[in-house]
Structure formats: C-alpha cells, structure tokens
Structure 1
C-alpha cells in the first residue's frame, strides 16, 4: 500500500518544506487541491515548484478543475511538468461544484461534465503527438509517459465514475471506507464493460491531523472554512482522523477494499505532521 501526503493550502510558502520532508520519508505522492475563488495556490504552478524541491515523490492534483481551463494549454502544461519530472506527474481531474469558480471563468456549470469529456479527447490527441487539426500541427513537448501523464478522475456521480474507464487510468475517491467500496466496485465494473485491460488504479483520500491539540484545532478550522459552502462542514470535519490508531485502521480498511494508495490529506499547517505520520506508517 502506497501512502501519500495531501498538502495544506493556508500558506503556500510552507509547502517546499513539507515536500522535502515527505520526499525524505516513506511517502509516495504529494497531493494538492484546486479552487479558483479561494486563497489556495494554483496547483500546477505550486507542484512545479515542489517537484523541483524533491527527487522521488509523485506530484498530484486532487482534483484539478479541468473545465475552468482551456484544454490545449492545459495539455501543454501537464506534458511539460510530466516531462521535466521524469513522469512524476499524476493529473487528478474533476468538474467542481462551486458556482463562483465557474462564474469568474465564464464556464457554464451546467455543461461542465460534457466539457470535461471534450477536453479529454483534445488532450489525449495532443499527448499522443497527433496534429491538433487539419491545418494545425502537434503541440509539444511529448510527455515522459507515452500517451500523457497518468489521469485519475474524482467524483461520486455515475457519469464521473464512468469517465474513469472512458478516458482515465484510475479513480480518486474522497470517501470513507464505509462507502468507498461501492464506488470502487462501480469503477471496476465500468472498466470491464469498456473492455479495458488490467484494472483501474484506485487512490483513496482521508483527512487527518496529527499532533498537539493546537495542530488539530488549526486543521479543523481550516477544513471547516474550506467546506463551509457545502452546508455540511461540521459533518465533514467530524470525520477527520486525529490519532495514530484511527489512521492505521483507515489505511488497513482501504487496503482490504483493494485500494492501491491512500492520500493522508492535511489541513493543519504544522509541517512536523509529516514526521509524525511517517512514524505511524
């Protein structure tokens, strides 16, 4: 079971320190979320910096709100980062659910799913080295990974889960073990129905905070502020894991469900959490 770290967003200047600690430890991946109308760092820019501060761990968007971006430029950005990191980029993609993020980019939130499907067709063509169109040549550079960086899709609706088999390499599940298994089964069944070889890579995400009470309180406050728009922030914060036993049990539960990796997402800013989580593992 691979275990990664989801990075906090409260102070981007702290993230290189988090990344270096994770790279020196037992962790497989650095994950970073995406929003536009918020104070989080832009993930592709931030992960490029963090990739330069590390040598081993993968850098992963979870999830990048692809419909807010123009697909040819996004394909070029992703291919560049993938090539320059030697294939360490994992592109986690989703559609987003906030009206304000879509309003400021002029994207109709009602069509975001169809837009993402269209974007994937464009990006897969670009990453394969084909010309963009009849009178327009290819868009490089070629990614390190043939066919483009690894693409994971997040989401909960049936259309989002089916997208994994149509366009992706795996599934990113921000769901507790108690109901993640049903999502995993749906994704795997869709994979077979679409005639895909092998199996989708399954990555789970769980929210954690490990340390003194002030670290836990900081994480809960930051997570509550981030999810306030959902109307379910209290419920979501209540699910945060704050003890070594809870974290180990969750990792074991995801392993029993057949997940390939678990991302331990941190909202608290204390970088010493990386070392504490390493001790848990």
Structure 2
C-alpha cells in the first residue's frame, strides 16, 4: 500500500522544504486541503510550485472545493498542472460544507452537489479535447494523462458516494477505519451497479502528529481551528504515537485501501523523518 503525506497549512513558505524532503523519502503523494474563507494557501497555485520543487512524488488536492470555482478556468488550471507536473496531479474534489466559503464565492450552498456533477461532466469533456460548448471551442492545454488527471471524490453522504461511480477514478475517505469500512463498501457497490470495469481506487486520510508535546499541541490547535465549524468534531481523531500510525495503516490495508495519506497539521517538518521511520 502507498502512503502519502498531507501538508500543514499554517506556514506556507515552508512547504517547498516539506515537499523536497518528502520527495526524497518513501511517500507516494503530497496532499493539500482547500478552503476559501481561511488562511490556507490556495492549493492549485501551491501544488504548481511544489511540482517544480519535486521530481517523483504525486500532487493531490484533498479536497478541492469544486463548486466554489468557475468551471472553464478550473478545467484549464487542472489540465495545466497535470501537464507541467508530468502527469503527477490527482484532483481530489468535493462540495464543501462551510456557508462562509460559498458566501464569499457567490455560490449557492444548497445546489453545490448538482453544480459539482455538472462541473465533473464538463471537466471530463474538456480534458478529452472536446469543445467547451456552443460558441466556444476546446480549452487547452491537453493534460499529460489521457482523458485528464486522476479524479478522487471526497464524500460521506450516500448520494455523494454514488458520484464516485459516475465521475471518479476512486474515492477519498477522511474517516477512521471503523467508519471507512462501510463507506468503502458502499462505493464498491455503486461502482459495480454502474457497470464500471475493475474497481475504484480507495484512498484514506488520517490525521497525525509525531514528536514532542509542542508538536502535538501545535497540531491540535490547527485542527481545532479548522474543524471549529462542526457541531461535534469528536470523530476527528489525531494519531500521536508510532504504534497508532502503524495500527491505522494495518487496519486500512485490511479494508482494501490502496493508499493512506498521513495528514500533518503541525509545522514541525521533522515529522517527515519520524513518519518515514514508522514506514
């Protein structure tokens, strides 16, 4: 199973160093989250910079909030990033649930699911070289990967999980193993019912902080701020020991996950070496 590394958002200039260190290690992917009304770096811009600082590791949005963005420009940006990174880009995408993000973007939070469905249909068409629509021709450049970058759908609700089979190459699950089992199996059932060949790629995400107490407290503070909008954030766990990380990787392997992204919230870049030692 592949193991990726999620990047902290509180110190954007340090991410070039994080990316180079991860690229030299055993990690498969660099993941970066998305918000609008927040102090995080914009993920597509940041991943483009990290693509130039790395040679091997994949680059993944985790997840990009598609409905906040204009579709034609998003198609061009993602195709460009895939091309410039040599096909190393994965578009993890979801709807987003924060009302302030949609307010700032001028989008209707109540229609975000329908908007994402329409966006994914358009992205697939544009990436394949077809005209954008009536009166508008193709939007280039062509991505490095034929048909466009890999698409992972992040979701929890049953209707949203079915989106994986319609538009995705796989599923991105930001839940602990006990919750992920049912979500993985639901995605697989929808995939089979839709007549898709093969199986969806299953990617999990868990939150980690390895190191001294200051590192763990930094991670807890960053997570608390990010998840403050939730009425009950108790399910959002943080793994703080090598044994916990090892056990989570084993559990996700048993569930059939193809990759687990270890998401780092603390700014301590030495976590990269500590996590590499666990692997």
TM range (shorter): over 0.9
Cα distance, 1:232 vs structure 2: 2.6
Cα distance, 1:231 vs structure 2: 2.7
Aligned to 1:276: 274
Q: Does 1:54 align with 2:70?
A: no
For 1:1-281, what aligned pairs fall within 5 Å after superposition? 1-233=1-233, 235-236=234-235, 239-281=237-279
TM-score (ref. length: structure 2): 0.99
Runs of 4+ in 1 over 4 A off after TM superposition: none
For the aligned residues, what is the CA RMSD? 0.8
Cα distance, 1:160 vs structure 2: 1.2
In 1, distance between residues paired with 2:235 and 2:175?
10
Secondary structure class of the residue paired with 2:30: strand
Secondary structure class of the residue paired with 1:229: coil
Cα distance, 1:171 vs structure 2: 0.2
Secondary structure class of the residue paired with 2:112: helix
Could you list the per-position Cα deviations for residues 224-264 of structure 1 after superposition, in whole angstroms to 9, with x for gaps in the alignment? 1111111334x245x20000000000001000000000000
Higher deviation after alignment, 128-137 or 212-221: 128-137
Secondary structure class of the residue paired with 1:185: helix
Cα distance, 1:136 vs structure 2: 1.7
How many residues are matched?
Answer: 279
In 2, distance between residues paired with 1:110 and 1:154?
18
In 2, distance between residues paired with 1:120 and 1:210?
37
Q: Which runs of 5+ in 1 are unaligned?
A: none
In 2, distance between residues paired with 1:188 and 1:250?
21
TM-score (ref. length: structure 1): 0.98
Q: Which runs of 5+ in 2 are unaligned?
A: none
In 1, distance between residues paired with 2:57 and 2:20?
9
